[in-house]
Structure 1
Amino acid sequence: MDINIVWIIAVLLLAAGAVKGFRKGLVEGVVRITSYVIGIIVLIVLVKGIGSFIQGSILNVLMALILLVVIRLLHRIIKLLLDSCRLVSRLPVVKWLDRLGGTLLGIAQMVCLIWALFILFGYFDILHLNGWILEMVNQSRLLSLLYHTNYIIRLMQVM
């Protein structure tokens, strides 16, 4: 029986996510994800605003600027809420719950990364590894579960 390298990589990624999540905690993980999402939204709004400015549509530029102000206000409110959560998460019992939640969040992030890698290697067939990866997936229950429950693909199909 061959060594399933894809399984080893997946388990190492999941373990790394669990350890990192345990160390950072749920609150820090949520802060990081929220910052990423807000950054992406700001980028999209800026790109649309710049595109409208180039086309000469003043109304769309004003709407983009208003959206940026609203996003900034929402970011400040969320930051205030999360800062108070950070204080509460330092309490002894809550700290363990925060770490447990961080562990689960770290594992969930790595599952999303593995899903994205499956899509990347499958759709673009990078280095012509798609067939080999599918063979490795079929040899492992864990990989089969991850491969066949890929919600990113389902989301892409809906869009």
Structure 2
Amino acid sequence: MFHSTTGLVHLLAALVALVSGSTVLLRPKRGRFHKRAGYVHLTSMLLNLTALLIYHLFGRFGPFHWLAVLGLLCLTGGMVPALLRSRINSWIYWHYYFMSWSVVGLFAAFWSETLTRDLPVGQFWPLVLLATLVTAMAGSFLIRRYAPRLLATGPTTRRSLP
């Protein structure tokens, strides 16, 4: 199941990121718990960059490495507005969407890995694409469905939405 210590660290970080990211999305926003769980998610996602050190599948930098970089960009896109909220209009909007997509990408990777473990190459890519597409569609629906309620939590955020 594990090809290296790096693979084990990657798996454990991914599981912590899945749980913490889901918890942040499902629980009420703001407050100490949101912030702490968010930082656990951030830390585990940074540890999850061990994905960039795993070359078992392709033997070189491949498509999943690029998706890990995209995940890091989503994480950055979600954290920078939160950290600079006094200087960025609509910071909550950017924070919500980027962090939500960070978690959706993590679930897409989870389902792709779960469904394709040890499959022959001919079945690998269709299942990866299907898992990613279904996860992204479900994530997009949920993100858009709950955005108005979650983003309109106070008078300041209502005025700052684009």
TM range (shorter): 0.3 to 0.5
TM-score (norm 1): 0.33
TM-score (norm 2): 0.32
Q: Which has the higher contact order (CA 8 A, sep 6+)?
A: 1
Report the structure number with the largest CA radius of gyration.
1
Which structure shows the higher helix fraction?
1
